[in-house]
């Protein structure tokens, strides 16, 4: 097969669509020359066929990424990485209309939302382009003769698996921090939506990134995704998708080389509306929170809790608003909700609607297919729901929500936290105290107040509980792609000085030990005075030696330190003389001899000989 095709969109006209695997900055076929079809969810027609990667292709891509990581990319400065990323952001911005059109064609999202996604891609890449030369370690003061510091080093080859609901946006969320911190990437697109990422790959090459730094493959999770998760030469895997698949990736990562894992998984987010909320504003945000991106959003506000004082009024107004959402052709500017991404997802959502009806919930609006062509579903609202119903507990990932009433703050906090997920939540109220109290109690990685789905590349995003591990976006995402190294350096000193310091330190320790033994023999009122004097002098001597070491460490930087070292040694000698004077005045013991006298069986000459030996050492 060829490695590109001429396609057409209502926005851009004809364009060239890459269809191969992007490995080592080249378009290649898969080793087994397999392909699969990509379907337009609006028309159910085949758009094009693309190459399908197998385990062999993953091996080739990983080898290219490893070679780049160990070679050219490791030698690339942080400043140059920044230049590459900023250039890439510029190219994406220039091609915004094309990328958005391909996203709408492939995914089915409205062209307005697709343009918003691509705009967010530009911002995300620019943001991390700014971070590339600001990855810093620390110096840690431990001791005068030691230099400790930390480095934030890239992890290595990163496998990244992106979902079908935000294809190009999730691509940017993952590659931008990975490349900024000096890693190389092997990315697998979702089999439903590979096209925009393939167009993006050409821009990576145009931006000047070296071969092997970014590699992109198309394929299925059970083959290519599994190969990435279990590959022995991939150092880290990042995945966005379902909790079920996230568990499988963790198992594969642990069973292989215990690669590091970042997971952004499912959600069943509560959207809470209090009696004092601005109802019109709350309805707008609740509507946006569930039906944005056709409900195919991991943080969608699918569980809506409204305080009983405004419940009836809110429900009627919300039904009306949902019915006004324009569902249809994603290339019409007025379209709010496009089709679901695939036949499989369409069937899954319709099955949940059926289950909700069977469980006894009331369909307030929607609940049926929209039109007779394409994977369109009417915006659907369930009421009269119970907390243990499947539609209240399981992620549907479509334009379906359930609404329930609550009495007070304590009850709604318990209801909001009654989920295995913890990705996001929202609180609508005009009382700041209520907003803060409830936000603090909700077990969710993100809590919005009087808004919904307000994501920014500067702000970390990720889940509690079964909604994931790690954080995307913001400075926090950098830690997903770096590892901390501690370096400890013992600073060298001159040989002569080092010998003298070794002897002097030994001498102080020896004298201290000697006089501790002798002090136990001292009696009378002079004992306390002697001990105090001895401890003060030993402390001053030790402090003086610390100053000596500190100044020796500065010798290479300051000639003035030489004089300081000499002064400190003079200070040591003066203190030593005081020490000897104190020792000469020690009180006599009961036998009339000095408490500090040498043992009878040890002659002065023997101890002097030992001192001389130690000095030579």
Q: What share of the chain has pLDDT > 70, as a percent?
A: 80
Question: What is the pLDDT at residue 574?
Answer: 72
Q: How far apart are CA 579 and CA 523, in angstroms?
A: 20
Question: What is the pLDDT at residue 1?
Answer: 65
Give the residue carrying structure tokens 């569980």: 303
Question: What is the pLDDT at residue 119?
Answer: 98
pLDDT in tens, 454-487: 999 999 999 999 999 999 999 999 999 999 999 9
Can you state the angle between helices 560-584 and 526-553, rounded to 10 degrees? 160
On the question of pLDDT at 272 being above 80, the answer is yes
On the question of pLDDT at 529 being above 80, the answer is no
Higher-confidence residue of 506 and 79: namely 79
Question: What is the pLDDT at residue 2?
Answer: 80
Residue 218, SS3 per DSSP:
coil
Q: What share of the chain has pLDDT > 90, as a percent?
A: 79
Question: What is the pLDDT at residue 298?
Answer: 97
Gyration radius of the chain over CA positions:
35
CB atoms near residue 453 (< 10 Å): 18
pLDDT in tens, 321-377: 999 999 999 999 999 999 999 999 999 999 999 999 999 999 999 999 999 999 999
Question: What is the pLDDT at residue 246?
Answer: 97
**Three state DSSP letters for 546-605:** HHHHHHHHCCCCCCHHHHHHHHHHHHHHHHHHHHHHHHHCCCECCCCCECCCCCCCCCHH
For 459-463, the CB contacts below 8 A with 24+ separation are 461/264, 462/264, 462/423, 463/264, 463/265, 463/267, 463/421, 463/422, 463/423, 463/424
pLDDT in tens, 16-65: 999 999 999 999 999 999 999 999 999 999 999 999 999 999 999 999 99
Give the range among 493-507, 539-553, 595-609 with minimum mean pLDDT: 595-609
Of 217, 220, 198, 216, the residue nearest 48 (C-alpha): 198
Instruction: State the average pLDDT over residues 385-401.
Output: 98
pLDDT in tens, 553-571: 655 555 555 566 666 666 7
pLDDT in tens, 307-320: 999 999 999 999 99
pTM to 2 decimal places = 0.80
User: Sorting pLDDT into bands at 50, 70 and 90, what band is 381?
Assistant: very high
Burial category of 439 from C-beta neighbours within 10 Å (exposed 0-12, middle 13-18, buried 19 and up): middle
Find out whether 368 and 34 touch, Cβ atoms under 8 Å. Answer: no
pLDDT in tens, 191-214: 999 999 999 999 999 999 999 999
Instruction: State the average pLDDT over residues 87-112.
Output: 98
User: Sorting pLDDT into bands at 50, 70 and 90, what band is 593?
Assistant: very low
Average pLDDT over the chain reads 89
Higher-confidence residue of 18 and 616: namely 18
Residue 266, SS3 per DSSP:
coil
Find out whether 315 and 364 touch, Cβ atoms under 8 Å. Answer: yes
CB atoms near residue 488 (< 10 Å): 11
Whether residue 264 lies in the annotated active site: yes
User: Sorting pLDDT into bands at 50, 70 and 90, what band is 523?
Assistant: very low
Query: Of residues 52, 103, 191, 264, which has the active-site annotation?
Result: 264
Q: How far apart are CA 464 and CA 98, in angstroms?
A: 36
User: Sorting pLDDT into bands at 50, 70 and 90, what band is 572?
Assistant: low
For 452-459, the CB contacts below 8 A with 24+ separation are 452/271, 452/285, 452/286, 452/288, 452/289, 452/301, 452/426, 453/288, 453/289, 453/292, 453/297, 453/299, 455/120, 457/120, 457/123, 457/124, 457/127, 457/128, 458/127
Instruction: State the average pLDDT over residues 266-286.
Output: 98
Question: What is the pLDDT at residue 562?
Answer: 54
Q: For 421-559, where are the alpha helices, taking DSSP H only?
A: 432-441, 495-519, 526-553
User: Sorting pLDDT into bands at 50, 70 and 90, what band is 585?
Assistant: low
Question: What is the pLDDT at residue 408?
Answer: 98
On the question of pLDDT at 513 being above 60, the answer is no
Give the residue carrying structure tokens 């995402």: 477
């Amino acid at each position: 097969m060829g490695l590109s095709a001429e396609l057409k969109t209502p926005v851009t006209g004809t364009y060239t669509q890459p269809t191969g695997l992007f490995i080592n900055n080249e378009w290649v076929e898969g080793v087994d020359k397999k392909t699969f079809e990509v379907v337009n969810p609006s028309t159910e027609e085949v758009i094009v066929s693309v190459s399908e990667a197998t385990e062999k292709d993953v091996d080739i891509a990983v080898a290219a990424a490893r070679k780049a990581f160990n070679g050219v990319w490791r030698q690339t400065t942080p400043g140059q990485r920044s230049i590459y990323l900023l250039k890439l952001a510029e190219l994406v911005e220039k091609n915004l209309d094309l990328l958005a059109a391909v996203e709408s064609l492939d995914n089915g999202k409205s062209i307005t939302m697709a343009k918003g996604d691509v705009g967010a891609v530009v911002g995300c890449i620019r943001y991390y382009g700014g971070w590339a030369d600001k990855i810093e370690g620390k110096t840690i003061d431990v001791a005068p003769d030691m230099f400790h510091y930390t480095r934030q080093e890239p992890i290595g080859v990163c496998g990244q698996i992106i979902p079908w609901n935000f294809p190009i946006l999730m691509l940017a969320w993952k590659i931008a921090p990975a490349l900024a911190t000096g890693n190389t990437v092997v990315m697998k697109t979702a089999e439903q939506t590979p096209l925009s990422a393939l167009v993006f790959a050409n821009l990576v090459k145009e931006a000047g990134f070296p071969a092997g730094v970014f590699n992109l493959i198309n394929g299925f999770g059970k083959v290519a995704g599994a190969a990435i998760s279990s590959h022995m030469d991939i150092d880290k895997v990042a995945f966005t998708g379902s909790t079920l698949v996230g568990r499988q990736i963790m198992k594969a990562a642990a069973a292989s080389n215990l690669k590091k894992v970042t997971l952004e998984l499912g959600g069943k987010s509560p959207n809470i509306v209090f009696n004092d909320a601005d109802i019109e504003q709350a309805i707008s945000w609740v509507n946006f929170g569930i039906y944005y991106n056709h409900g195919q959003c991991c943080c969608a506000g699918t569980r809506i809790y409204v305080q009983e004082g405004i419940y009836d009024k809110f429900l009627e107004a919300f039904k009306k608003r949902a019915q006004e959402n324009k569902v249809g052709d994603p290339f019409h500017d007025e379209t709010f909700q496009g089709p679901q991404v695939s036949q499989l997802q369409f069937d899954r959502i319709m099955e949940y609607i059926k289950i909700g009806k069977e469980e006894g919930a009331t369909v307030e609006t929607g609940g049926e297919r929209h039109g007779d062509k394409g994977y369109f579903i009417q915006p659907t609202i369930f009421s009269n729901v119970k907390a243990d119903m499947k539609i209240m507990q399981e992620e549907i990932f479509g334009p379906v929500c359930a609404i329930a009433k609550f009495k007070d703050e304590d009850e709604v906090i318990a209801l909001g936290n009654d989920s295995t997920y913890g990705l996001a939540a929202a609180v609508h109220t005009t009382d700041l105290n209520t907003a803060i109290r409830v936000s603090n109690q909700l077990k969710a990685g993100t809590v919005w107040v009087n808004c919904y789905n307000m994501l920014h590349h500067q702000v970390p995003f990720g889940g509690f509980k079964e909604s994931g591990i790690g954080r995307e976006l913001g400075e926090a995402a950098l830690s997903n792609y770096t590892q901390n190294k501690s370096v400890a350096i013992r600073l060298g000193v001159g040989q002569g000085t080092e010998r003298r310091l070794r002897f002097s330190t030994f001498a102080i320790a020896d004298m201290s030990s000697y006089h501790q033994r002798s002090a136990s023999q001292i009696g009378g009122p002079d004992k306390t005075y002697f001990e105090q004097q001895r401890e003060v002098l030993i402390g001053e001597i030790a402090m003086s030696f610390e100053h000596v070491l500190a100044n020796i460490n500065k010798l290479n930087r300051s000639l003035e330190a030489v004089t300081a070292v000499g002064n400190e040694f003079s200070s040591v000698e003066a203190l030593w003389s005081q020490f000897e004077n104190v020792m000469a005045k020690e009180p006599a013991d009961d036998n009339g001899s000095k408490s500090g006298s040498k043992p009878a069986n040890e002659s002065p000459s023997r101890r002097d000989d030992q001192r001389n030996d130690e000095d030579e050492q």
